[in-house]
Amino acid sequence: MRCASRLLLALPALALAQEQFPIADKIKGWLNQAQSFISSAVPAVPSTMDAGAAKVAEHVEIFLTLDNWQSVLAADPSATTAGPDDWMVYITGGNRTCYGLCGNATIAWNESVALLSALPTAPKFAVLDCEEQPILCNAWSVGPPSIYYMSIPHALADQSTPATTVRWIPLNRTSVIASDITTLVTKQAYKNTEPYEGIWHPFNGLIAQYDLALPVGYVVWGFSKMPSWLPMIAISFLSRSFM
């Protein structure tokens, strides 16, 4: 739009000079001027693309919280397919939880979501911001930037539910690009990561089975907020009391 307006403004001046310059020189001048306008506009394109991808992502992703994650990350009872519901959960953070280095990964995530959301077999998308939801991140024992790829099964005929398969896939903060994320779906590259089956499994882990995820999340978060000198003083007092 900016290029077109500048060219229109330049036309009257070129028309006045029409009698003074040959047609070939005039056309050459138009081309040179248009090329300079287009070249000056190119650096603005990436930021425009980033903003557009972010807008698309906002409409198809859900932000997870302590209150909604269990209801969101559940199999859709109205689904017509027998297979599990796949979810890609992008784990991000801010200055405290990602040291301000999640910006590049977030751009790659937004671009990949904008592309993947057009696929008929696309997974569902969610975001967990550890800056806003530190308890949930600690309850899952995950850190940004990363992706939790989840395959959530439907209940069987006897109403029993098979185990949920989760894969935690860390992302490189500086070098990750959109194709690294899209291939997780288009080429099923997520299968290159072994499923996680430890105690921090958000659905079937030992902590989740005994409903300890929330208390443990608060405890871990509390320790992270504790000044580094406080544990040393506490240990010193305890050791003296034992002596």
Do 145 and 91 contact (CB within 8 A), yes or no?
A: yes
Name the burial class of residue 50, with classes exposed (0-12), middle (13-18) and buried (19+) by CB atoms within 10 angstroms of its CB: middle
What's the helix, strand, coil split of the chain in %, to 5? 50, 10, 35
What single string gives the DSSP state of each residue in 79-129?
---SSPEEEEEEEE--TTTSTT--HHHHHHHHHHHHHHTTSTT--EEEEEE
Query: How many whole angstroms separate alpha carbon 167 and alpha carbon 115?
Result: 22
- The domains of the chain are located at 2-45, 64-225
Q: Which CATH number fits domain 64-225: 3.30.450.40, 3.30.70.260, 3.40.30.10, 3.40.50.1100?
A: 3.40.30.10
pLDDT in tens, 115-137: 999 898 899 999 999 999 999 99
**Whole-prediction pTM:** 0.72
Residue 175 has pLDDT above 70, yes or no: yes
pLDDT in tens, 153-174: 987 766 677 889 999 999 999 9
